[in-house]
Amino acid sequence: MKIEPSVLNLTDLVAYHEGRISSRSLNKKVPFNTAKMTLLALAADETISREQSDLHKFVLVIDGQVDIIFPNNEVFTLNVNDTLLIPKGTWHEFRAPKDCKLLQIEAE
């Protein structure tokens, strides 16, 4: 597959919906075989329950704010342009104190 240069406005690719989390895979737009790229939109007060992954996660906030909570109750509050690397196998959860859009990249 030939890949052409293209611009993606990430904040326009996913929308907020009250009472639910929206997500969109970017793997068709950015065809990396070794990484999963997902945009997430969490409306204010939404959460993603405790989870872990077999892959490392790189999180980039592109709008709003998100808290990422670890089992020892350590909380990382990320704002626009903040990033966090979550090592594979690490339990964590997401909480949006206000509307938040983020890019999550999972890779080995």
pLDDT, tens digit, for every residue of 38-97?
999 999 999 999 999 999 999 999 999 999 999 999 999 999 999 999 999 999 999 999
Give the bridge partners for 16, in sequence order: none
Domains of the chain as residue ranges with CATH = 10-107 (2.60.120.10)
The encoded tokens of residue 32 equal 């990396």
Confidence of residue 1 (pLDDT cuts 50, 70, 90): low
pLDDT higher for 29 or 22? 22
DSSP annotation string for 6-61: ----GGGSS--BTTBEEEEE-TTTS--SSEEEEEEEE-TT-EEEEE--SSEEEEEE
pLDDT at 31: 67
What is the C-alpha to C-alpha distance for residues 14 and 107, in angstroms, rounded to an integer?
22
Encode pLDDT of 3-21 as tens digits.
Answer: 666 778 888 989 999 888 9
